[in-house]
Amino acid sequence: MTNIEKIQELNAIEFIYSADDNDFDSMLFDIISSTGATIDHVIWKSKYNNYVIYDYEPFNTNGFNKVVTLRKTPTNLFAEYLINKRLEVIEQLDKVYMLQ
């Protein structure tokens, strides 16, 4: 599983992950759409150059991190809870898989 960073701010929740991680991307947007949560904004940041930030998906996503920001509303907090639980299950399965 790839590295997923979550940043809690005063009024927002950010999920930062590799733009190439299609599994987490589809899981994240499935949970967001099923709970009715709203996305504040999505940006793509270069892993190598802090100045390169796009508000649209670049042609080639290699070398970019995707940043999905949710506002802290009750619906979005429920979505965050579901995402955290899903990540915990994935981490547990990864640990079990490593034991075999």
Q: Indicate the pTM of the whole model.
A: 0.77
Number of structural domains found in the chain: 1
Amino acid 9: pLDDT: 67
Structure confidence by residue, pLDDT tens digits, 9-35: 667 888 888 888 888 888 888 888 888
The helix or strand, by DSSP H or E, that contains position 66, with its residue range, turns out to be strand 64-71
What is the CATH number for 50?
A: 3.30.1370
Amino acid 98: pLDDT: 82
- The residue segments making up the domain with residue 62 are 5-99
Residue 1 has pLDDT above 50, yes or no: no
Residue 54, phi then psi, degrees to nearest 5: -115, 145
Structure-derived torsion over alpha carbons of residues 9, 75, 53, 5, reported in degrees to the nearest 10: 60
CB-CB contact of 14 with 67 (8 Å): yes
Structure confidence by residue, pLDDT tens digits, 38-97: 888 999 999 998 899 999 989 888 899 999 998 888 888 888 888 889 888 888 888 888
